[in-house]
A and B are shown apart, each in its own frame.
Chain A
Amino acid sequence: MPFVEIEGKQVEVDEDGFMTDPAAWFEACAYYFAKGEGIEQLTDDHWKVINYLKEYYATNGIAPMIRKLCKETGIPLKEIYELFPSGPAKGACKLGGLPKPTGCV
């Protein structure tokens, strides 16, 4: 697996650029992956989504349904795709350091 350097630290990622170890995540990772996703600025709403994903993953070991994400963060579906152009699975999960969701995503 390849490594990327974020603030002087070596972070392991998979072939699609997802972190392989969510526990190794730190805040600068989100900014680093945001650049690759073409997201210029991380707003409060971005952080709401990222924090919810991290929390859900820590408890359940899987990424949540987008239904839960919208309900719990109060952010409408359309805005999720505006915030994360690659969508919740490929975009938001990556910023939060979640491993790439399994299955056809």
Chain B
Amino acid sequence: MEAKNLNEVRDPKFRDEIVEKMCFHDDKMKFNLNYCLSCGTCAAGCYFTELVDNHDPRKFMRKIALGLKDEVLKDPFVWLCNMCGRCTMNCPGNIPLSNVVRTVRGQFGLTAPGRLQEVAETHMETGNQMSVSEEDFLDTIDWMQEELQEEFGDPNFKIPVDVVGAEILFIPHPREIKYYPEDIKSWTKVFVNAKESWTISSKAFDVTNFGLFNGRDDEARKIMDFTVNEANRLGVKRIVMTECGHGFWAFEWGKKVWYEPGEVTYKFEHMVDYMADILKKGKVKVDKSKNPYTVTIHDPCNTVRKGGLIEEGRYILEQVAENFVDMWPNREYNICCGGGGGALPMGDPVKEARMKKGKLKADQMMATGAEICCAPCHNCYDQLNDINKEYKLGMKIKHLHHLLANALIWEEGTGPKPEE
């Protein structure tokens, strides 16, 4: 490589440009990238530093500190970073590195590799990332409703759709509708057992938001609008969302950064938060002997490290499964799945790195001796399944609502009929 005079290639305003283009929910949180000491604490925190090529947050920050704009924009780290936030936990300058990465991704003319951008565009065009039509959505709900009518022995049972004035609007993931309809029955049972006033919507049934990963704030807001507008139209009080990590975080963070203050006032409740709450309040009763398994939990970065839902998942599993064991390390120190930051839809360009990173998780999962690993995030769920297959772990990957629904105690005359 030809040596270059640094002063000829550096753009001294690059650091300020990043901060200027970055979205903050509070101007007081604006910072100067000069706070970055290039000390490398981020690299020590990140589980994947130098585990795969070109994955070193310190080197990335150092390039920014030096103003090497061209180098930064073509740095593979921009798309390899899983945006999990582990690097920031011990950073003396409290630099939100995942937000720096997000800003570089979306505000400097780059386009996300693989299918990431395509998925965001499909969402904007069709209202959900899988192009599921309203007719197909309703057809699938009817189908699961019929199965529940049979299971409950109640021909009048209805899954509430588009109910104006319901207390809770529940936002599923379109893949539950398109490919995993058993999930519909699972979360419906939870709401029915808790006697909630709830509804789903035929117009907003996608919890995801890939605007979080492509870094484009205008697109992120467009995607989030589908749910916000529908919640306003139905006049609901609360919004509960299915077990999707990034979607939950996009809503909770997004309402502060993509909207004006006071424009969106809903609290977006992740399913794990909701389920822990109804268990604590005694709104549902459970029998853990219905899940006679050893179960562990993976901590998704978006729900745990960023969203603060640290104890909720553990609390649920201790109630609904016979034997809960934790991983080590755990909680906000848990090893990442390796598939975050949009790595799954990016496909080929990052697949090899994704599987290498997943080996750390695979070893950690196996060390628990658990038969089931729960992940309250659809993306982690897929990554864990890929790890499971790649490293032949033979574990079952589940969401928490699967185990809760299975452990529910039903009042006499309600719920599933005993099998004949």
Contact = CB atoms under 8 A, between A and B. Distances in A.
Given A14-B347, A62-B131, A102 B119 contact: yes
A103 B119 contact: yes
Given A102-B115, A103-B174, A67 B348 contact: no
A104 B378 contact: yes
A104 B140 contact: no
A23 interface: no
Contacts of A66: 140, 178-181
A65 B132 contact: yes
A1 B351 CA distance: 12
A87 interface: yes
Interface size bucket, B side? 20 to 34
Given A67-B140, A102-B118, A88 B179 contact: yes
B32 interface: no
Nearest to B177: A65
Interface string B381-393: 0100000000000
A1 B119 CA distance: 21
Given A66-B178, A66-B181, A87-B179, A104 B351 contact: no
B338 interface: no
A103 B129 contact: yes
A67 B208 contact: no
Contact of A1 (B173, B208, B348): B348
Provide the main secondary structure of the chain B interface: helix
B180 A103 contact: no
B122 interface: yes
A89 B179 CA distance: 7
Interface in A72-105: 77, 87-89, 100-105
A15 interface: yes
B157 interface: no
B348 A14 contact: yes
A7 interface: no
B175 A105 contact: yes
Given A102-B122, A104-B382, A65 B140 contact: yes
Nearest to A70: B143
Contact of A104 (B132, B139, B208): B208
Interface of B: 115, 118-119, 122, 129-132, 136, 139-140, 143, 173-175, 177-182, 208, 344-345, 347-348, 351-352, 378-379, 382
Given A62-B131, A67-B140, 19 more contacts: A1-B348, A14-B348, A15-B347, A16-B347, A65-B132, A65-B136, A65-B139, A67-B143, A68-B136, A70-B143, A102-B115, A102-B118, A102-B129, A102-B130, A103-B119, A103-B174, A103-B175, A104-B129, A104-B130
23 contacts: A15-B352, A16-B347, A65-B132, A65-B139, A66-B140, A66-B178, A66-B179, A66-B181, A67-B139, A77-B181, A77-B182, A87-B180, A89-B179, A101-B130, A102-B115, A103-B122, A103-B175, A104-B173, A104-B208, A104-B344, A104-B379, A105-B175, A105-B382
